[in-house]
Structure 1
């Protein structure tokens, strides 16, 4: 009966996806299926004719499996294309200046470094502290800050007016709330992208000049 043959055909199509259990040359295609059907029709027992409903069901299953196979091949091709685009995008990120949430930043001697502070509530006596590996470099009074984003800058000088060399520095910002509590302030800093890696899930992780590794999602702004 075509029903059992069709069932075996469906199983063979499913098993063919596993190269360890079958080879591509042994997979039955649509032409083979129709040839088998024709042979069975020619040699069927007239007293027990083939059920046409079973034939239609088997043929439908075969078409669905072949359509699924073609769709999987298309998806794999799209995935490879997308991975190639990601690699190209990652390459263009190297050497770019980015703004990310954090405290460590890259400073270039002779130029000012800008930061963005984002207090979550109004603060008084806000203070910005710049530090290096050797300790505190500069303390800057910011006065009162409201809710939202505030752009501040450091001219690159220490408390004695000496110009600091290029390198990695850290900032700490804080202020006093209306209740008199000392509150830290979130900061967005600038750094340069040293390298980019693509994770298994397709997301990108940036390694900054500061040595910090951040996700692409944390990037607020990309510069030249």
Structure 2
């Protein structure tokens, strides 16, 4: 009886030592089906198929085509993600060179500093008479206006020196520039663009690269820039 007990104890100890010496691999396994795994499964399918109901060639080709297409789409997505990262980096590099420069953007909302006025462009689709540029404050009050007369079609430049109708220098801040022309018996508002200084560049995943302009809230896309000039 004691021999049996001793043998059992020795056997259990041996099993315990084996368990303690065995390392359990807890690393997560890759569950992605590779091309090699797919062809291995396809080979098994062919080996164990019913000889009286073999897999049709068309079905086999369809399975292989579906897997190849899915794998190709996955690779294409990876390549497009890499290309998008490269393009974003390139745009950021281009935009950073604009910091401190003046850019022409399609907006009449502008900023006047202590020493500068506002420059811009009025866009005319046809020859127009009686072109007038009007400067308003953010409350819509007219601070200054000047006539540009008759103009041909194209981009007509203007330069406001920052003064009011009496020649007094207006305080720095935001102003709205509007342009009008006489079309028949009515006055029509014209498209306008203004120059602004680039203060900084913002980079975000959703919106890409944005230019932050002096005194103007909200960024402009690099593609919105119509012209670049010295600051």
- Per the normalisation by structure 2, the TM-score is 0.63
* Closer/same/farther in 2, CA of residues 87 and 158 from structure 1, 3 Å limit: same
* Closer/same/farther in 2, CA of residues 49 and 222 from structure 1, 3 Å limit: same
- 2:223 paired with 1:223: no
Aligned to 1:154: 160
* Closer/same/farther in 2, CA of residues 159 and 85 from structure 1, 3 Å limit: same
Structure 1 residue 157, shift from structure 2 partner: 3.5
- State the secondary structure of the residue aligned to 1:102: coil
Structure 1 residue 51, shift from structure 2 partner: 4.5
Aligned to 1:4: none
Aligned to 2:80: 75
* Closer/same/farther in 2, CA of residues 154 and 79 from structure 1, 3 Å limit: closer
Q: CA RMSD in A?
A: 3.8
- State the secondary structure of the residue aligned to 1:74: helix
Write the deviation string for residues 60-112 of structure 1: whole angstroms up to 9, x where unpaired: 44334333332332223223333333444454444442112222223344456
Aligned to 2:179: 173
Choose which of 186, 190, 196 in structure 2 pairs with 1:191.
Answer: 196
How far, CA to CA, are the matches of 2:49 and 2:106 in structure 1? 75
Number of residue equivalences: 200
Cα contact 1:194–1:209 (8 A) shared by 2: yes
Unaligned runs of 5+ in 1: 1-22
Write the deviation string for residues 126-148 of structure 1: whole angstroms up to 9, x where unpaired: 33233445854433232223333
Choose which of 124, 136, 151 in structure 2 pairs with 1:145.
Answer: 151
After TM superposition, the structure 1 = structure 2 runs for residues 55-74 of structure 1, keeping only pairs within 5 Å, are: 55-74=60-79
Unaligned runs of 5+ in 2: 1-27
- 2:179 paired with 1:208: no
Cα contact 2:134–2:178 (8 A) shared by 1: yes
Aligned to 1:14: none
* Closer/same/farther in 2, CA of residues 120 and 42 from structure 1, 3 Å limit: closer
Whichever of the two has the greater Rg, that structure is 2
